[in-house]
Structure 1
């Protein structure tokens, strides 16, 4: 009974603070303090200090600000200006033609910055006016941007995979490796949908502007080659075992500075803006992680994870039914919170449940990130929908409708991952 009353009290405090506009990180810490102070015999003050310091000084977490900084540096190069021009010649003969630049552009920039919103803004800033000028339907332009922009959460180096790895105490390098096949498969599904739509509606696809020779295509794409090589170098250094995730992040920052200098965009202003931008974003994430670590400790003293795990175990749910229940839970929760907050808010309770069910935490991490991706284009609080609304001026309901096919494709990937878990576990098991 004590656990039930504690659960109700904590939920009331949580939603009261969130509804009052308190920052997510401070809300988590406040709920944790309330729980320890009123429902456990442990003093909350010293526990909060030790937990927050321990979570903030983690060496593994060092990779996070470095990858964010790398993305901020490259964001201030000419990458966004060169994306469309470099990709367009390679997709001109595919069904759907230049709509595929949204998918490829998002996949490339996702591997640079690891942020869904930043991917949507950067690719959309260049591609939206270009595709509209060439006569592509608005619904297809916006849908093929909003859906693929979620690749920023999955394709390594992914910020949210680092957050999950820290929260679940799981190898970040293995999570990065595990995200490769699902990320590429999702990009192929997106391009396949565009191609299928184009074959069914050939009259709505503008005519090709003419083909280029292979040498001319390379010439158009030459500005993208250094960025692609940088990303491949960072990822390869992790997969080959030459560097840890933190060391590869440092390599990425150095490479981004060299690329910025080569493109003549490196100056004091760009350096300062990239550093401040990375610092602001990391501080926000670090505060959320610190609050989540304290709340995990608090719930452990109260006994909520153990009680919930025993309750779920008493329901005798099969692993499949448990995954279905968690998927629906995260999709609904993702309608009201961003992906990082969703994961750190629930990991202290959900992790013991999936461990008790014998589910691989690496597989579950990828499955969870894909699930969170779907919430990025789900109203009322799909982050990508807000980004698209600011760029297009369209209604949220319209944006949700044109992005709906991509939601369906991500749901299809979730089903495929359940029946073929090797999609996420094969690569980590062979490297």
Structure 2
């Protein structure tokens, strides 16, 4: 596609995602849907500079793509059967199911339970979330080619198994909600501290949209503890956004943030959600525990007042549910506050996170506290090389340059 075409796609990213998902659902073939969407945008590149951008670009693109799909289907084998399917593009009503919001409906539609969890999440982030393959790869801590192959295989499975892109109804939601929550969490994280080295440090549009959609999911599933937990986690994290990046564009660590700049309204709402879930007496899930950890941090008026014993107990609880290396890495930060950096370093060393910048940043911090300057410098160098965010790189660079002998 030409540079002009790419600019149009970027300007109408939401229309692109909606168009591809709508066509895929109606035609039953994701590859053809993407081809038709691309042809519609190519037509827009030819006509819009001459005719002007239409009042409703999304409707124009949808109509154009549908007409191209009709032509495509008419030309294929089994002419009569395909012709009837094509005609239905114009006549079939759009089922709303249980979800009124267009984007949330697309997320639930793409998170089909017939796909493996990682595949459905990656595909949804690509088609609906608007994230690039490199951004998705960084979110999953895998190489970009591997993520590209994963998305391609997911598309191939949809085509081979003829998985229908039907709008889910209320009874379908529980089977899809885990994938939906993962998608929304990753979109939020990408907005809160972007991984694009060329982009801005924080994308408030992504965090706001993730919170909005999570509120809608909670309206649909008010009794789901993990939905409430994810909303609380987002609110308590978003509350700190104004203090997270300095005026010079450098990341500000949690213990150095101006807590007076935190959004107390979001904190109060997040704390209320956490307390409500605790009051149920139900065993908490991953998002509920992460929200509780953030509640402990945001409850402390000063970093020195943080209840690290409670933080560690919550991480122990989380590790029983999710004994992943990243959980163990984050747990080590609490261990360092209670048992010292030497004990924490022993738990961190050996974790299979060599390609994760936060692993090296944590090691650098612990080595710094132990007075092992040269090793800390090497760890900072590795963290800086792997970090994608400009604000994070600036922070790590400053910390490295403040080491004795720098």
What TM-score results when the alignment is normalised by the length of structure 1?
Answer: 0.24
What TM-score results when the alignment is normalised by the length of structure 2?
Answer: 0.26
Please identify which structure carries the higher helix content: 1
Larger Rg belongs to: 2
